[in-house]
Amino acid sequence: MNKINGMELAKMLRNNNDMLPIIFVTGYSEYMNDGYEVEALHYLLKPLNKDRLFSTLTRYLQRYKLNDDIVLRCKNNTIHISQDSIMYCEAYGKSTQIYLLKGNTLDSQISIGKLSKMLNREFISCHRSYLVSLRYIQSIGKTEITLDNGIKVPLSRRMYREVNKKFIKYYTKEYP
């Protein structure tokens, strides 16, 4: 790395309260103790053993698999957010407005089609311009969906049957 080393970068991330998983891969064992300061997941020495790397990655995935984070490119930055914090998404051309549980929004530089592929099965398309989390649907009418916070999202007539079926399955615990 130029200009900055991995430990300095890790400290910067932690100072910004960013809890990204950090795995150091290095030939320098003398910095291993510093890895504890930045809460590194692991410190692997070169030459890299693939089995140890995959074991470390598997351990991380098993420990944090419920945390369904995604990474989004926004106007001025790239962020990671938990899918649990997304209520619904609305397409605006080639970008997407993401409405979060806390009431704030994100302007993502990703199409709704690409975003749909990143999100888990709790998200359904209810209109060509909208994705909604089943988790936050309060009720479904013929032409709109009402979310837990009272916001109404349009529901395409041709998608009504499929959306209603998934909604019922989700809340009766039959959803895959």
Per the DSSP assignment, residues forming a β-bridge with 8 are none
Q: Facing residues of 105 across strands?
A: 99
pLDDT one-digit tens code per residue, 95-142: 999 999 988 999 999 999 999 999 988 999 999 999 999 999 999 999
Residue ranges of domains in the chain, CATH in brackets = 6-64 (3.40.50.2300), 69-171 (2.40.50.1020)
| Statement: residue 67 has pLDDT above 60 | no
* pLDDT 10s digits, 24-49: 898 888 878 888 888 888 889 999 99
pTM: predicted TM-score of the whole model, two decimal places:
0.62
Mean pLDDT of the chain: 88
How confident is the model over 19-28, as pLDDT tens digits? 678 888 988 8
Q: How many CB atoms lie within 10 A of CB 132?
A: 26
